[in-house]
Structure 1
Amino acid sequence: MKARQLIKLVFINIYHNKFRSLLTTLGVIVGTATIFLVVAIGAGGEAQVNQQYSKLNVGTIMVTSATRGKVKDPLTKKDAERFTESAHVASAFPVVNGSGTMKYGNYGNKGSFFGIVPEYQEANHLSVQIGRLLEDDDESKHNRFAVLGSDFANTYTDGNPDEIVGKSIEINSRTFEVVGLLNRVGDSGSFMSYDDSVFLPMSVAEKYLLGNRSNPNITVVAKDLNSVSSAIEDIKSILDETHRLGGSDQFRIVDAGSRLASAQSTAKTMSMLLLSVAVVVLIVSGIGIMNVMFVTVKERTKEIGTLKAIGATRSEILSQFLGEAVVISFVGGILGSIIGYGMVPVLSYFELAALPTLNGLMLGLLFSVVTGVFFGFYPAWKAADLNPIEALRYE
């Protein structure tokens, strides 16, 4: 039997059993669509994580108190200077923080503020959508200026943040002029939320709001990403030498890069879990293919006997039935991929990140064909193994 005749026979048999073939294909369609969507959701999740951390300097290291209570030997601005003595550290900035009653117009609430040096903004990739960032003159001249996070401004202006720039806000009954509004950052990977915060010159925060209570946290920027681990070791050594009452154990040292790696790892783990579910769906559909193929073999026993009687070989019978399983699986894979692609906008509507990829398409098609071959082989082999005389006598 020629290859062309074999292929023609495969499609004829599928057409004559089109309703059964359709039911068999449904399982493959669902499984392939699930795999396509799972890979798309995984890719969308990873892209979302990367975008969320794209403004973050992954070489940043945060040194903060390990507990919320009073530390025996707190950090000082001098520690920031000592950290820069490390060959693996590019810069280090003290940051002071506090909380209090914030008020703008008739709206008031509790909130957090941070006192920073101007260099801190560039090191952490902060940028403004309106106005300007804090400058060196603001620090040296004790200018009572403030830069607001995007969420903070949205909350206090009832969704009209533009109006607050150039106006004044009150923090613990002290007045500060708003000179800038930050672009949204998202998860900063640090001990603060940029979007919900108010930023003031450090000298101003200390002079008007914190006084002697201002024990800073310190943000350190490593020379490069490869220097982060060495920089952390140097920081620990410096703290052990200069803070003998508790050493480095009383401080929390976290690098932003590890937060990014952890978030990416979590996204990949979720993708693998979802992919496992999709594989189970395909296995179930494969079992369905096997059952249908067994029924088909039973129904076509006399046909198989006739083919063998007129000279069809064992391999030709095997190829015919296996070909039917592969075609059903492949068509189901194509349809499943199309349906999966069509579902992406629906997921986006429900704010579930999904990014269609070529890998998802190829993986879905590969699994569908493998499912057809794996679960279709045994019934095809049984069909090819039938005795022609017994097959012709079968009722």
Structure 2
Amino acid sequence: MRRLEILRTVMISILSNKFRVFLTSLGIIIGTLTIILVVGIGRAGETAVAEQYSRLSVESITISRVKGMGQSAAPTEILNKDDAMLMSEVLPNVKSIGVSTKVLTDIGANGASSAITIQGINEEYAEITRLHVAYGVMLTNEDSMMRNKYVVLGSNVAAAFFDGDLAGAVGEKVLIKGSSFEVIGVLDSVGGSGGISTSQADSGSVDDMAFIPYDVAVKYTTGSTSRNMSSSANQVSYIALANDINSVDLAMEEIKEYIVETIGTGDAYTVTDAGNVLESAQATAKTLSSLLLAVAVIVLVVSGIGIMNVLMVAVKERTREIGILKSIGASRKTIMIEFLLEAAAISVFGGILGALMSLAAPWIFSMSTIAFEPSVEGILLGIGFSVLTGIFFGFYPAAKASGLEPIVALNYE
């Protein structure tokens, strides 16, 4: 048979069973769409991680409480603020120390309220993590010592409470845990899911947070009056700045030794440089993307089994046709190609339809908090997987069809 005749036969077979072909391709459509969405979400996640930590100085070192240690640890096993601040004075390779504590609490203004992550910080924390105000001024250590009830809002928080007027938010009042705070600044927008964190597990964006002086946070928002913060030790973290990029490793060793000398154990805190934090966060994002991609591939495999079942039925229905083709000289290879092309056509149809549906993803995700980054790579990967799935699972029915004996096929009822 000529190639054109084979293609014509394939098209006739597909068009004569349009509804069955469509139902068969549904799984391919969903699988392809899932792969494209997974790739887009994964890329957006990796981009967000890169943006999040790009604001950290390369000389920065995070010092975070190991989760769960605060439940049973003795007060002597907690690195308090005063001891931590001394590191910049007694450790030769440590230039400055930032401190941060956080709590999720209600913040209200203009008759509206919302649960917002409030971070209590000192001036060094803002400098090391490069928190910059677009309007107003940043918090200072004097604000912390004077217990000034000042707050700096993330751009999204300010926009939500003050009708998008970021500059107008400066000088206004907000309520945090029933106490009135004056807005003295609004941060510039980070965008996406970016943000600054001194904890690897923290993925909040500065756009959606509010910042107040550290000692004010200790007194008014965490429910603790102790400078040790022993009741909420897991919420306190520090960030150090090494003298320069060449001093980072030395500074980390000094910090670890200092912690052991101060609290008697090195197991209560993790000490990590910005590069390792970024690599760890990116690895986590890639692992999540891989898991989601595996789910999408499983969907395609199930769809491939459906294609195989449909083609097996088609072989049964067209047994006499196969016998006639063989009796007039059609080779085994020709029969196999015909059925493989049919499987590939169903897969291509499902893949293209799934890819077309994915074009609406940016618009749909724009109405949610999920970040999505469209890419040609994702579309090609989705269609490629769908075609391979169809050919793989179409091979057995095609081989069975090509192996039928002409006499047996012609006598089939």
TM-score interval w.r.t. the shorter chain? Answer: 0.7 to 0.9
Unaligned ranges ≥5, structure 2: 220-225, 230-235
Distance 1:43 1:64, change over 3 A: closer
The amino acid across from 2:285 in the alignment is A
Residue 384 (structure 2) aligns with: 366
- TM-score w.r.t. structure 2 length? 0.72
Measure how far apart 1:143 and its partner are: 9.0
1:8 aligned onto 2:21: no
Residue 134 (structure 2) aligns with: 129
1:37, 1:97 → 2: CA distance? 36
Q: Secondary structure at the match of 1:37?
A: helix
Residue 188 (structure 1) aligns with: 196
The amino acid across from 1:246 in the alignment is G
Residue by residue over 1:251-272, the C-alpha shift from the partner in whole angstroms, topping out at 9 and shown as x without a partner, is 5535455544444333333322
Contact 2:170–2:185 (8 Å) recurs in 1 = yes
Residue 149 (structure 1) aligns with: 152
Measure how far apart 1:125 and its partner are: 0.7
1:323 aligned onto 2:337: no
1:340 aligned onto 2:358: yes
Contact 2:32–2:386 (8 Å) recurs in 1 = yes
1:162, 1:298 → 2: CA distance? 73
Residue 50 (structure 2) aligns with: 50
Residue 79 (structure 1) aligns with: 87
Measure how far apart 1:29 and its partner are: 1.4
For residue 97 of structure 2, the aligned residue among 93, 96, 110 is 93
The 5 A counterparts of 1:191-206 are 195-199=209-213
Distance 1:295 1:103, change over 3 A: closer
Distance 1:268 1:145, change over 3 A: same
2:7, 2:156 → 1: CA distance? 68
Contact 1:32–1:368 (8 Å) recurs in 2 = yes
For residue 281 of structure 1, the aligned residue among 294, 299, 305 is 299
Distance 1:226 1:326, change over 3 A: farther
Measure how far apart 1:380 and its partner are: 0.7
2:108, 2:340 → 1: CA distance? 74
Measure how far apart 1:247 and its partner are: 6.0
Measure how far apart 1:283 and its partner are: 1.4
Residue by residue over 1:87-122, the C-alpha shift from the partner in whole angstroms, topping out at 9 and shown as x without a partner, is xx5x223659899xx999999xxx9885745x6533
Unaligned ranges ≥5, structure 1: 206-211
Residue by residue over 1:341-367, the C-alpha shift from the partner in whole angstroms, topping out at 9 and shown as x without a partner, is 224422332332222222211121111
Contact 1:95–1:219 (8 Å) recurs in 2 = yes
Residue 20 (structure 2) aligns with: 20
The alignment covers a number of residue pairs equal to 371
**More off after superposition, 181-190 vs 119-128:** 181-190
- TM-score w.r.t. structure 1 length? 0.75
